[in-house]
Each structure stands twice: as structure tokens, then as C-alpha cells.
Amino acid sequence: MINVIGLGYIGLPTALMLATHGIKVIGTDYNNELVSELNEGNITFSEEGLDELLQSALEKGIKFTTAYQSVDTYIISVPTPYDKISKKIDPSFVIEAVKSVLKVCNVNATLVIESTVSPGTIDKYIRPIIEKEGLVIGEDINIVHAPERIIPGNMLYELINNNRTIGADNKMVGERIASYYKSFCKGKIVVTNIRTAEMTKVVENTFRAVNIAFANELLKICRVDDLDVYEIINICNMHPRVNILQPGPGVGGHCISVDPWFLVGDYPSTAKLVNTSMKINDSMPDHVLYRIHQIMKCNNIDDIGRIGLYGLTYKEDVDDCRESPTLQLLESQERHLAPGLKVFDPYVKDDIVKNQYHDFKNFINDIDMVVIMVGHKHLLENMEVLSNKIVLDTRLVCNNLNAYHL
């Protein structure tokens, strides 16, 4: 029996996948409402195939609760935010989860930490908590780090097909945990030590952040001389050893825009490229504002209230708004331009910002210029409504030949 702690974007799909592959699973989360929804068969965020997977897992007997269980194996998948000033990890959720597990776990239990943590977190914060309880790691209890690698928008496919890394003090314990993941994972599972596993996860996301920053910087360079950055990237990418990512309105989500800061926070005098890259990505929402301002001037628009931002989520076809470029832009807009931009996102049902619309037609009717912040499928299917609008396309998804770009 496995007790999965934290039923968010990673814990829930992992729990469901294990439960549908012959493993007894109980999911625990401190959010009572979320637990009831799941027990009633309602998914708590949108992801292709998740609904069907929840129904099959319920049929196989998965249960959700707010209580920690007395079992031999725990998978801890709780958030790991970072402190915006020191850039260091805030490990409080993982620490709380471990403390709660220690109160109930069986002797010789294994704690698998799936949450992304900054390199060294387990040595610095988790081992001391366990040792303080008088437990000997490796004898009374085992620790494993099994960072997840799945991408929102294609989570279930990637859960099954991605390779994985498992870090453990003891190879046999690592292999035992690998066998649970092998119940559904067709990818290769490498077993290494905990420090290495921690580092690989953060490095993977940093690699992507730095590459996106390069594309974003290129975009700004090309803007100076009015060159088409997208054509330039396409041609460069025809070279067999060049693969530049897509520039855009900024980098959001809880991973690429967060994890690289751990390296900056812990290695401030060495992680210089990472630091600069993160700053470039963070500057992109302001670059969008600068372009909005330029395009307003060219088209004699003086009312910011006639401009609409399409998309509030951090990327296409997900409902996750954490650290999204649109939210960053709106925050910045409050400081620079008069507030009043209108906003619409088909995936965001709650009111989370000012001037937010829930009806697409009303949104389109009330604006003269649309800024495409996210290329949701919904927009691609409704492109014709943009034909008589001024368009700033930050994602290169619009077929309107007169669209402006970043």
C-alpha cells in the first residue's frame, strides 16, 4: 500500500497511475474540499485523460482522505515555492509532510520525495528532522528522491513514457521504489544517489529556462532592426546542431520560472548565466507592454480599455495560472500604464483579475485590439473573430497576415 501525500498537479496523476496498475493507493491531502471532490469522481484540474483515469482508479479502490496512513511507502508531492527575495527554496510544505508521516509510519518505511527540491534540501532539512526523532536513516526509515518530469498538457503520456531518475542512499531501496514506478512507466529508470537526483531535476528545468531566455533575447535584438526573429530561428534550426526554442511573452508555471532560482539562491556568485537568463525571461511581460504602447500609438488608440488580453494561464490548454506572463504583465501595467486592460481565458472560470470576462463574444465586442498571450486551441478554432481586430500575437499562432509581433 502506498500513501501519496499531496494531490495536486503531480501527486494526483501519479496516485491514479499506480492505482490503475495493481498497487493499492490511498491519497492524502489537507484540503477537505479537494478530497471530497475526488472521492465523488470529480477531477480538480483539467488535463487530457485525467477524468477517465480517476474513474478507473476509483473502480480499482483508490481512496482519498485528509488523514495520513500507517503504511510502508509514502510518495510526497507537495509544493516547493521559493522565497522571492533570497531566491532560496521554501521547504516548509515538505517538512510539514515529513513530520506528519513520521507520526504514523510503519517501522522501516520509505519516504519518497517527488517534489522538486533545491540540491541539498534533503541533507539540510529532511535528514535532521528524522534524526531528531531518534530514528536511524537506513535502519528505521529510508529516504528516496524521485523527481517528476511530466509536462502539464501531456502529463499522462509522459508519466508512462518518460525516463525517470531515482536517488537513494541504498541501491536496493532505490530499485524497490523503481519497481513501483515500473508498474506503469515504460521509460528507463536510473537509480543514483539523492544529491545527484536533486541536481538533475533542477538542471533540466534550468537548461530549458536558459534556452528560452536565449530566444527571448534574440527577439529583442531582432526588434531593434525590425528583423523577423521567427524566420531567423526557423532557418537556424535547419542546422543539424542548432535547436532554438520559441520566444514569447514570458515564462510562467511552477517549474521553469521557479526551479532555476534555486541555483541562483544557493550559488549566487557562480550561477551568473542562470541569473541573467531568469531576468531576461522576467522582463518579457514588460516588453509586451512596450509593444502594446507602440501599437496603440501607430493606430491612434488612446483608450487602454479597448485592448484585451487573450489568455491568463501560463501556457496553452492548461488551467494553471501560477506565475503566468499575463498575471506578471497586469501587475506591471498597474505601475506603468493606466489600468484597464480587459482579459479573457476560456480555462479560467473564477474571477481572478480585474476586468475579466467569462463570455468570449462580449470580450471580443468590447475591444479593438487583442493581445494573444496564450495560444489555446479555443482561439485557433475561433480565429475568424479576429479578422477585423488589431492583433498583437505573442505566440505566433494567428493567421492574420497583418498581426503585429513582439
CB nearer to ligand SAJ: pick between 29 and 320: 320
SS3 191: strand
CB nearer to ligand SAJ: pick between 125 and 230: 230
What's the min distance (Å) between Cβ of 71 and ligand SAJ? 25
Contacts (Cβ under 8 Å, ≥6 apart) of 101: 3, 5, 68, 74, 76, 109, 111
The one catalytic residue in 255, 315, 321, 342 is 255
Contacts (Cβ under 8 Å, ≥6 apart) of 56: 16, 20
AA identity, residue 191: V
Residue 405 lies near ligand SAJ (rule: CB under 6 A) = no
Tell me the per-residue interface mask from 229 to 248 with ligand SAJ, x by CB under 6 A, - otherwise.
----------------xx-x
Tell me the per-residue interface mask from 161 to 180 with ligand SAJ, x by CB under 6 A, - otherwise.
--------------------
Give the residue from 142, 132, 87, 90 showing the smallest Cα distance to 115: 90
Pairing of strands 141-145, 164-168: antiparallel
Q: 276 and 335 in contact (C-beta within 8 Å)? A: no
The number of C-alpha atoms within 13 Å of 24 and in the hemisphere containing its C-beta is 5
| Subset of 101-120 contacting ligand SAJ (CB under 6 A) | 116
Residue 151 lies near ligand SAJ (rule: CB under 6 A) = yes
CB nearer to ligand SAJ: pick between 255 and 296: 255
List the beta bridge partners of residue 357.
344
Task: Confirm whether 84 is a catalytic residue.
Answer: no
Residue 251 lies near ligand SAJ (rule: CB under 6 A) = yes
Distances (CA, A) of 5 to 27, 221, 251, 359: 6, 46, 28, 37
What are the grid coordinates assigned to 387, written together? 479578422
Pairing of strands 63-65, 25-28: parallel
Task: Confirm whether 255 is a catalytic residue.
Answer: yes
CB nearer to ligand SAJ: pick between 71 and 309: 309
- Of 13, 91, 252, 311, the one binding ligand SAJ (CB under 6 A) is 252
The one catalytic residue in 87, 201, 315, 342 is 201
List the beta bridge partners of residue 143.
111
Residue 256 lies near ligand SAJ (rule: CB under 6 A) = yes
Q: Hey, which residues are catalytic here?
A: 201, 255
Contact footprint for ligand SAJ (CB under 6 A): 116, 148-152, 204-205, 208, 212, 245-246, 248, 251-253, 255-256, 314-315
